[in-house]
Each structure stands twice: as C-alpha cells, then as structure tokens.
C-alpha cells in the first residue's frame, strides 16, 4: 500500500496478468502521463498491478499494446462494459504470463518493439494451451500491415486505431460469443465421447457376460450329456470284465476236460484263433477301462471349468482350475501335421485355497493360455512350450505366471494390449476381448493385478496376482 495526498493505492506484484485497480492512481490522457505520486515509470508501474486470477476469469480480455494511451482507452472502455481487463506492455510479457493464466480474448497490437504482434500471434497459436484463444489485431489506419498475413496466422479479426468504440465492442462481443459457443460444443463433444466410452464399456460387459455364460453353458451342457453315457460304460465295464473272466475260465475248463472236441468245435476254435482271442480280450477290456476313465476325467474337468453352479465367491484350489483349462485346450496342445506338441511345464507351489469366482478365473486362464498357444503357432518354433508357475507371495497373495516362448509382443502395441477390441489376429480369429475381459476379472472382480513382460522373438509372460482375502466388498 502507498499513500499519496491522503489517498490509498493498492497494488500487488505477481506473475500473472495484471488488472489496473479500480482506484486509478494514474491517468493517461492523449499520451500524456500524469502520475499522482512519485511513481516508477509507467511500464514498471504495470508490473505492480493486481493479478487477474485473484478475480473471476469470466470474459477476461488481454490487451497487448506498447502505447499507454491505447491501453488506457481500451481499459476504460472495456471495464465500463463489465469486462475484466488485463494488460501487457509487449509480446514477450504477454506470452510469459499466458503460461499461467488465460484470457477469453486477446487484443493484440501489430507494431510493437521486440517481437511484433504477428510473431506473438504465431507463438500463441503454436502453443496447445493458448492456440484457441481468439486474437483480434489492432493496427493504426496509417500502418500498412498485411491483414491477410494476420488472419492466416490464426487471428479472428482486425480493428483499426483510433478505436471506434461501438465497432470494437461489437466485434469483441461476437468473438466472445463465438468462442463460448465453440467451448460449449467442445464440452458437448466431450460428453458425447464419454457417453460413447461408457457404452463401449457396457457392451464389453455384455459381451463378456455372454461369452462367458455361452462358453460355460456349452461346456457344462457337453459335460452333462457325456457324463451319463460314459457312466453306463464305466459302470458296466466292471461286470463285462468279470463275466468275460468267468467265460474264459469256463472255456479253459472245457478245454481241460475235453481236450479232443468234435471236428466242428476244433475247426471253429482254429478259425477264431481262440488262444489269441483269449489273451487279447483281457487287454482290450483293460484299455477300454482306461479310455472310459479318461473320458470321466475330462468330463470332470469340463464341469470344473464351467462351475456354473458356483457363481459366488468360493475358496478353491486354483491348480484344479488351471488343470481343467489345460484339459479343455488339450486338442490345441497336441502335435499337428505342421506343428509339434506344445510342452506344458508345471511348477506349482503348494497353495492354500483362494477365495475367488472360480469360473471367471478359469476364463482368465483360458484367455491367457489360448493367446500363448496362438503366439507359439505364429512363431513356428521347434520346441514350443508353456511354463505355468504358481506361488504364494507376501503371505496373502497368490501369483500365477504363464510364460510362452512364442513370437513376443512388439513395443508399439504393448500399451494397447488390454484395450477392448484390440487384436492383431485376422478377422474371424480374434475379437480382441480376451485380455480386456481378463483385466476386468482380475482387477475389478478380484482386486488383483495383471501384467506382462515380453521380448520379441523370445516370448511373453503374463503374471496374475490375486489377494487371498479382501474380496467381500466386490460385487
């Protein structure tokens, strides 16, 4: 605060724009500078004015001019109309201060010492933070400046000095309205984009739900259909084995007591190769029992995988989930005409049961293992392998790592991997939803973490971490 002739004058030094305070200690008339007190030279005085961002930024106009008279005239005119007015004495100051505070419109003098209005405008438009602030050039009628140059630099209008008050106000009003309309449009566009984003998320949830329940139901349905007939076979095989044994004993008894049967029986025994048949029948029955056991295990895995009856949080052995997923993928792991068997290396640590949504977690294993198989097939490597490691970390987290020695993931696409619908696979092969669904299941449903490490040409490792407790709040 300074006092002069019994009056108070307030000013503040700051980095932002400056407003001439309402109490005007300074009067400038037609270029004559009258100071009511021994004040520093005019330009220094400007740096002692109130910061604009201490008041509302609504309709703030920045006037950039090196001529005090022009500044004063515009300041008076615009403040009378209710605008907040900020001033800068030259282009450099204006640009510097625009870094921290932005007006709604800039009145920019063309001819100024230092960088001129054109250069100032050029720099303003090159800066993303200021490029959309409308700029109106001010030029004296006598100046032969290139108006086209100004407009091509991004200015929205020109006004000529001496200022025609009504014209200036009208132009300012139009451009402020235009800017506000553009702002509103941008805001609406943002809202529409956000709505679109939520729509995509909703669609993702829907697809996820459908994909999961479709796969789960299919698997559960097949498991159920196979379960019944395989049980007939498995259950009856025990009797078939027993009866066959009895019959064979019976035949052997006959052979013992009637070593020389009639010609017809002897001939028939030769035709049938009775000796071989007796030995082979037992072996056939043994392999049939083994086959039916395998089918029963597969059915059990299918049921384990779908776990449709267990949509609630449940403590489970996640190794069972991984193994049943591997059973479902067995056909893809086997050798094909042009690709060797994919070796699965399991390195399981003993783990406590993990409270989780079992069918959803199996879905995650399915997605990651399928991707690993795709990456191995793409690499055409001689000894393809998938290594699955499990371990307990920090006492209450479990970690599952699934690593392949396939093609690897190129750097530029790594950031997009969890994006919905991102795929590098041909149309019809990949939907690009596997990892985004897995991400949601792990992070949202289980409050866990999922990440990956990859080296192009060497392979990829996905690491899932699931907390063993603390899922109760998840819906």
Ligand X SMILES: Nc1ncnc2c1ncn2[C@@H]1O[C@H](COP(=O)(O)OP(=O)(O)OP(=O)(O)O)[C@@H](O)[C@H]1O
Q: Which residues bind Mg ion (CB under 5 A)?
A: 371, 434
- The answer to the question of residue 231 lying near ligand X (CB under 6 A) is no
Strand order in the sheet with 385-393: 343-347, 385-393, 397-404, 459-467, 449-455
Instruction: Answer with the entry of Mg ion, ligand X, none that 154 interacts with (C-beta below 5 to 8 A by kind).
Output: none
87 strand-pairing partners? 18, 63
In order of 20, 329, 387, 430, the CA distances from 383 in angstroms are 78, 18, 13, 24
- How buried is residue 306: exposed, middle or buried, by Cβ count under 10 Å (0-12/13-18/19+)? buried
262: left (phi over 0), alpha (psi -120 to 50) or beta: beta
DSSP string, 365-417: HHHHHHHHHHHHHHHT-SS-EEEEEEEEETTTEEEEEEEE-SS---HHHHTTT
**What distances in angstroms separate CA 290 from CA 238, 274, 361, one per listed residue?**
12, 25, 30
Q: Does 336 bind ligand X (CB under 6 A)?
A: no
Shortest CA distance to 430 belongs to which of 340, 367, 342, 379? 367
Q: How far is the CB of 387 from ligand X (least distance, A)?
A: 12
Closer Cβ to ligand X, 265 or 380, answer by number: 380
Q: How many residues bind ligand X (CB under 6 A)?
A: 21
Binding-site member from 431, 449, 463, 467 for ligand X (CB under 6 A): 431
To ligand X, the closest distance from the beta carbon of 213 in angstroms equals: 16
Nearer to ligand X by Cβ, of 150 and 434: the residue is 434
How long a stretch of residues is the chain? Answer: 475
Nearest to Mg ion of 59, 460 (CB atom): 460
Q: Which is nearer to ligand X, 340 or 432 (CB)?
A: 432
430: contact with ligand X by CB under 6 A: yes
Residue 417 touches which of Mg ion, ligand X, none (Cβ within 5-8 Å per kind): ligand X
Least separation in angstroms between CB 408 and ligand X? 6
Asked if 381 touches ligand X (CB under 6 A), the answer is no
Residues 6+ apart with CB under 8 A from 58: 84, 104
Q: Closest distance between ligand X and the C-beta of residue 425, in Å?
A: 4
Of 469, 317, 457, 458, give the one whose Cα is nearest residue 400: 317
Residue 435 binds to ligand X (criterion: CB under 6 A): yes
Question: Which residues does 353 contact at the CB level (< 8 Å), separation at least 6?
Answer: 315, 316, 317
- Contacted entry of ligand X, Mg ion, none for residue 425, CB cut-off 5 to 8 Å set by kind: ligand X
Q: Which residue's structure tokens are 């490691």?
A: 389
Determine if 425 is a binding residue for ligand X (CB under 6 A). Answer: yes
Minimum distance from CB of 304 to ligand X (Å)?
A: 22
Taking CB within 5 to 8 Å according to partner kind, which of ligand X, Mg ion, none is near residue 90? none
**Closest to ligand X by CB, 102 or 460:** 460
Nearer to ligand X, 79 or 424 (CB): 424
Distance, CA of 420 to CA of 437 (rounded, Å) = 8
Helix (H, G, I), strand (E, B) or coil at 119: helix
Q: Which residue is nearest to ligand X (CB)?
A: 434
Q: Which residue is nearest to Mg ion (CB)?
A: 434
Selection from Mg ion, ligand X, none that 432 binds (CB < 5 to 8 A by kind) is ligand X
Q: Which does 139 bind (CB under 5 to 8 A by kind): Mg ion, ligand X, none?
A: none
Smallest distance, ligand X to C-beta of residue 439, A: 9
Q: Which of 20, 95, 316, 407 binds ligand X (CB under 6 A)?
A: 407
460 in contact with ligand X (CB under 6 A): yes
In angstroms, the CA 107 to CA 273 distance is 111
Q: Are 138 and 70 in contact (CB under 8 A)?
A: yes
> Is 422 a residue that touches ligand X (CB under 6 A)?
yes
Q: Is 362 in the site for ligand X (CB under 6 A)?
A: no
Q: Which does 278 bind (CB under 5 to 8 A by kind): ligand X, Mg ion, none?
A: none
Contact status: 409 vs ligand X (CB under 6 A):
yes
Q: Which residues bind ligand X (CB under 6 A)?
A: 367, 371-372, 375, 404, 406-407, 409, 417, 422-425, 430-436, 460
């Amino acid at each position: 605060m300074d006092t002069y002739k019994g009056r108070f004058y307030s000013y503040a030094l700051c980095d932002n724009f400056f407003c001439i305070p309402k109490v005007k200690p300074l009067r400038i008339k037609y270029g004559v500078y009258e100071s009511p007190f021994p004040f520093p030279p005019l330009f220094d005085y400007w740096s002692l004015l109130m910061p604009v961002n201490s008041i509302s930024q609504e309709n703030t106009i920045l006037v950039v001019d090196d001529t005090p008279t022009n500044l004063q005239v515009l300041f008076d005119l615009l403040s009378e109309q209710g605008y907040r007015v900020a001033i800068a004495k030259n282009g450099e100051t204006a640009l510097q201060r625009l870094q921290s505070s932005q007006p709604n419109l800039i009145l920019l003098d063309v001819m100024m010492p230092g960088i001129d209005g054109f250069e100032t405008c050029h720099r303003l438009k090159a800066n993303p933070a200021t490029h959309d602030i409308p700029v109106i050039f001010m030029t004296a009628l006598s100046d032969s400046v290139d108006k086209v140059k100004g407009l091509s630099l991004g200015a929205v209008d020109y006004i000529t000095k001496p200022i025609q008050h009504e014209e200036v106000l009208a132009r300012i009003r139009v451009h402020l309205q235009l800017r506000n309309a553009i702002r509103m449009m941008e805001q609406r566009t943002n809202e529409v984009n956000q709505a679109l984003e939520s729509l995509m998320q909703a669609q993702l949830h829907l697809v996820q739900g459908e994909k999961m329940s479709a796969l789960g139901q299919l698997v559960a349905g097949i498991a159920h259909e196979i379960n019944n007939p395989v049980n007939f076979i498995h259950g009856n095989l025990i009797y078939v084995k027993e009866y066959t044994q009895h019959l064979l004993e019976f035949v052997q008894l006959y052979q013992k007591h009637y070593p020389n049967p009639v010609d017809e029986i002897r001939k028939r025994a030769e035709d049938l190769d009775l000796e071989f048949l007796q030995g082979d029948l037992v072996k056939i029955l043994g392999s049939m029992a083994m086959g039916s056991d395998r089918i029963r295990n597969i059915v059990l895995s299918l049921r384990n995988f779908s776990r449709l009856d267990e949509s609630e949080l449940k403590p489970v052995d996640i190794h069972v989930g991984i193994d049943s997923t591997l059973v479902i993928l067995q056909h893809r792991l086997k050798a094909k005409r042009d690709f060797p068997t994919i070796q699965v290396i399991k390195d399981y640590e003993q783990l406590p049961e993990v409270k989780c949504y079992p069918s959803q977690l199996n879905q995650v294993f399915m997605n990651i293992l399928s991707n690993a198989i795709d990456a191995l097939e793409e690499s055409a490597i001689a000894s393809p392998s998938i290594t699955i490691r499990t371990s307990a970390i920090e006492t209450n987290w479990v970690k599952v790592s699934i690593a392949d020695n396939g093609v690897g993931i190129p750097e530029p696409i790594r950031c997009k991997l969890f994006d919905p619908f991102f795929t590098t696979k041909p149309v019809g092969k990949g939907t690009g939803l596997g990892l985004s669904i897995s991400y949601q299941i792990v992070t949202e449903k289980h409050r866990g973490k999922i990440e990956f490490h990859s080296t192009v040409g060497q392979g990829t490792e996905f690491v899932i971490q699931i907390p063993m407790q603390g899922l109760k709040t998840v819906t």
